Structure 1
Amino acid sequence: MRRVVLLTAGVLLAVTACSSGQQAAQSRQGQAGFVSGNGNVSVFGAADRKAAPELTGKTLDGKTWTLSDHRGQVVVLNVWGSWCPPCRKEAPDLVAAAKELGPSVQFVGLNTRDLDQAQAKKFVQEFGVPYPNVYDPNGKALLRFRGQISPAAIPTTLVIDKTGKVAGRVVGEVTKQTLLGMVKDAG
């Protein structure tokens, strides 16, 4: 009986958390399918790392950004949307980590499902995001990461090692301290 009660409570908590995120997301540009992660951290040993797919796209400032141009450098890829409450919550930590790590680590955002590019630009300006952000309104670039990033789990952050392989992943909000540790492990 106790197991049933705990299971029921867990299911209700999960449904409540996801549905409130979904309702918030849906109220912003009809973003159905938003599921906020729980901050689950995965770190992969060198032998277990899989190659990140090629990512090329136009940034919010109109420049072309390509992942393979950054081989030899650790890359932090953060998937976000301006409509996503956890993305707003984690933005200051990402900005602080990017500033602390400096040019030795390439940060890049993958802005997904923002149908209005002005909203994405406003987010970047509001939080003082200092790194490039690839604009992916229809989620096509995000789908290249299938198996490494769930298209519905926003935000998600990948740490990609110097050889282009995924060294770590956070599904949900990432903190500065977690990110600094993951980058150190990937180096």
Structure 2
Amino acid sequence: MLRAVVATLALVVLAGCSDGQVTRDADTENIGYIEGDGVVSLIAPENREPAPEFGGPLLGGEGEFDLADALGDVVVLNVWGSWCPPCRKEAPDLQAVYEEYADDGVRFIGVNTRDGQSETAALAFEEEFGITYPSVVDPHGEALLAFRSTLPPAAIPSTLIIDREGQLAARVLGPIGRTSLGDMVADVLGEDESGT
């Protein structure tokens, strides 16, 4: 029953919040992939809601991640799959922004989804793109269900930014570039200084 609910929710999430564009990447032959529409949702501090409880095992058997442990840091949560052409395109930009802000109280966490039970493809993806921040393994999207009543990451890729108080500050449906992501992270980091 749980698998049926998860599968149904995954189809609704992927179909309901996309632009319906079907892409095909010559290198990966991913026919029928529906990508996000690129919509950015920014939430003013006074309108934010707490992020849900979220966590799971880390890719490569490197322990567990619990979002509650990141309270006090800005968290960038990126949903990706090794099979996803836009994820491959944005991966170097995510790593660059991670490196730029790693010493400023910003934590990056990937959420690897729909890569199946084997971690081989996901680990190869991280090696190919030099990804050094950790990723939660969520092969069926079950951990992501925690966000369903808040600000769900409703496409692959999707990126959420969670502020220092553990509240959802922004969401991007679809790929994001280095400049845009860097600006968003800087804005959320700067809220403490500006008093907003």
Same fold at TM > 0.5: yes
1: distance between equivalents of 2:24 and 2:174? Answer: 12
1:76 aligns with 2:79: no
1:19 aligns with 2:22: yes
Name the % identity: 46
TM-score normalised over the length of structure 2: 0.78
Unaligned runs of 5+ in 2: 1-18, 190-196
**Corresponding position of 2:128:** 126
**Corresponding position of 2:5:** none
Instruction: Please state whether the residue corresponding to 2:92 is helix, strand or coil.
Output: helix
User: How many pairs were matched up?
Assistant: 166
2: distance between equivalents of 1:173 and 1:21? Answer: 16
2: distance between equivalents of 1:66 and 1:73? Answer: 13
After TM superposition, give the deviation of residue 113 of structure 1 in Å: 0.9
> Over residues 6-31 of structure 1, what are the superposed CA-to-partner deviations in whole Å (9 max), with x where a residue is unaligned?
xxxxxxxx54xx22259x98x66xx9
**Corresponding position of 2:102:** 102
Amino acid of the residue matched to residue 88 of structure 1?
Answer: R
**Corresponding position of 1:53:** 52
Unaligned runs of 5+ in 1: 1-13
Moved over 3 A (4+): none
**Corresponding position of 1:113:** 114
Q: Which has the larger radius of gyration?
A: 1
Contact 1:21 1:35 (8 Å CA) reproduced: no
Contact 1:79 1:109 (8 Å CA) reproduced: yes
> Over residues 145-172 of structure 1, what are the superposed CA-to-partner deviations in whole Å (9 max), with x where a residue is unaligned?
1141254x11000010001111111111
After TM superposition, give the deviation of residue 54 of structure 1 in Å: 1.2
1: distance between equivalents of 2:188 and 2:153? Answer: 21
Instruction: Please state whether the residue corresponding to 1:182 is helix, strand or coil.
Output: helix
TM-score normalised over the length of structure 1: 0.81
1:36 aligns with 2:38: no
**Corresponding position of 1:6:** none
1: distance between equivalents of 2:185 and 2:41? Answer: 13
Amino acid of the residue matched to residue 96 of structure 1?
Answer: A
